[in-house]
Amino acid sequence: MSNKFDVIVIGGGPGGYVAAIRAAQLGLKAACIEKWLDKDNKPRLGGTCLNVGCIPSKALLDSSHKYHDATEEFKVHGIGVEGVSMDVNAMVDRKDNIVNQLTGGIAGLFKANGVTSFEGFGKLLANKKVEFTAHDGSVETLEADNVILATGSVPVNIPPAPRTGDIIVDNEGALDFREVPKRLGVIGAGVIGLELGSVWKRLGSEVVVLEAQDQFLSLCDQDLAKEAAKIFKKQGLDIRVGARVTGSEVKGEEVEVTFLDAKGEEQKQTFDKLIVAVGRKPFTDGCLAGDSGVNLDERGFVFVDEQCATNVPGVFAIGDIVRGPMLAHKASEEGVMVADIIAGHKAQMNYDCVPSVIYTHPELAWVGKNEQQLKAEGAKFKVGKFPFAASGRAMAANDTDGFVKIIADEETDRILGCHIIGGHAADLIAQAVIAMEFGSTAEDIALTVFAHPTVSEAVHEAALAVDGHAIHIANRKRK
């Protein structure tokens, strides 16, 4: 087998494997290097997302939500259930089976598309050469006309709470609890912290979330953040903002955490498990030789232009190691764009239309700009909101928390952002993404026919509400 390729992708996560498949579909000789080993020490494609991120966490969220419905919600529908129990081992095993199916599926897609898979570690050398080290330690040098760096990210560790066995864990360890912790601490009220905290709260944990920032979910629209805080409190999540962890001590089978509260006073709390979920950082350790020529910025991200090209001709970087949000779908679309560019096609990506989602229940999803950002810019805009409490379909499903919020330009009516909290928000946001991608106005959505009864009608009504024309709620008077 020749060791010369048109494209070599270092990293087989949602950015890397998609880039390799797309390149092969376009007639390029493509290879992908992935170093991941599962807990049985077997090679696996898919990176963090499929192995210990997006997919396994959603499996646990779905299982725990079904358990919560059976114990708390079914009675509303007249369904009596007795003796409901959760087999945590079966839940975790199901999660593992889903991961195995999907990672194995990527291997099948590589074979079907003619992508050469290398199991081991890749390092970029000078002149677009790649040093490949297999898991058995053997080393060979590969050559490529183009190289795509897609090495992803790793959890951020904090000195006050270093990972310790199975007591203090990161998101990966939190996916493999084999019993429900009675007292669970979570450091970080971001996506990972809220999702994993929700999983174990539904199964019976007393969950305390310690967030260092003074504002809850500061990066999303504050209407969503305030609504989410209210709902999560009702669900029993104890979220403490302005709580700065200063230390931790494992004592037997529990951990004592020391933190400063919002008033600056020292507090101590004991947990059976502690999840550290304070964010992620780009992973480039050992991936770039000193003479590779690739520039990193001051935060360790690979410096790229709008089309993900580095300063070295023929070398690209995508996903979590470059600027922008650390999202699997952002990485995937960057992978497609870069493969198209390498194949000689024109391609670009609209970074203004990348949606974000938090998969709690209710879900939070948004795209575009929020009110805080627009006010800071001095922009003139108008807002339409519609609550799911006024949706017939949401009422029928007993899932009425939250709302849809659409922000449009005051003069042009062009949609600037959409923010949703509620059931199916992760799916509903795609309607706004498509509309924004095509430069739609709020009126365009308002004039579109939506099926009835559906939760999607809330998007329609929010668009109508932008100009005070909502049908199923009283419209606010405009100045």
Query: Is 386 contained in some domain?
Result: yes
Transcribe 1-56 into DSSP letters. ---EEEEEEE--STTHHHHHHHHHHTT--EEEEE--B-TTS-B-SSHHHHHHSHHH
Report how many domains make up the chain. Answer: 3
Distance CA 365, CA 429 (A): 6
User: 121 with 133: CB under 8 angstroms?
Assistant: yes
Residue 393: pLDDT above 70?
yes
User: 171 with 196: CB under 8 angstroms?
Assistant: yes
Mean pLDDT for 80-89 is: 95
Q: Let me know whether 131 and 221 are in one domain.
A: no
User: 162 with 330: CB under 8 angstroms?
Assistant: no
Q: Let me know whether 183 and 145 are in one domain.
A: no
Query: Is 162 contained in some domain?
Result: no
Which residues of 388-460 form beta strands (DSSP E)?
Answer: 403-409, 415-422
Is 77 assigned a catalytic role? no
Q: In which domain, by residue range, is 201 found?
A: 168-278
Query: Is 470 contained in some domain?
Result: no
Which of 329, 345, 452, 460 is catalytic? The answer is 452
CATH number of the domain residue 428 falls in: 3.30.390.30
Q: Let me know whether 300 and 345 are in one domain.
A: yes
Residues in contact with 218: Cβ distance below 8 Å, sequence separation at least 6, in sequence order:
225
Q: Let me know whether 361 and 407 are in one domain.
A: yes
Phi, psi of 346 (to 5 degrees): -80, 135
Mean pLDDT of the chain: 96
Q: Let me know whether 126 and 107 are in one domain.
A: yes
CATH number of the domain residue 236 falls in: 3.50.50.60
Q: Which one of 329, 349, 369 terminates a domain? A: 349
Which residues of 332-424 form beta strands (DSSP E)?
Answer: 356-358, 363-368, 381-387, 403-409, 415-422
Q: Let me know whether 333 and 417 are in one domain.
A: no
Mean pLDDT for 41-60 is: 96
Q: Let me know whether 287 and 333 are in one domain.
A: yes
Residue 1: pLDDT above 80?
no
Query: Is 472 contained in some domain?
Result: no
Q: Let me know whether 207 and 255 are in one domain.
A: yes
Of all residues in the chain, the percent with pLDDT exceeding 70 is 99
Q: Which one of 217, 251, 278 terminates a domain? A: 278
Mean pLDDT for 441-450 is: 98
Q: What is the pLDDT of residues 240-298, one digit of tens each?
A: 999 999 999 999 999 999 999 999 999 999 999 999 999 999 999 999 999 999 999 98
Q: Let me know whether 427 and 292 are in one domain.
A: no
Q: Which pLDDT score, from 0 to 100, does residue 152 have?
A: 97
Q: Let me know whether 146 and 205 are in one domain.
A: no
Q: Which pLDDT score, from 0 to 100, does residue 32 have?
A: 98
Tokens of 56: 């396994």
Query: Is 103 contained in some domain?
Result: yes
Q: Which pLDDT score, from 0 to 100, does residue 109 have?
A: 98
Query: Is 474 contained in some domain?
Result: no
Q: Let me know whether 267 and 291 are in one domain.
A: no
Query: Is 84 contained in some domain?
Result: yes
Asked whether the CA dihedral 332, 338, 340, 345 is positive or negative, the reply is: positive
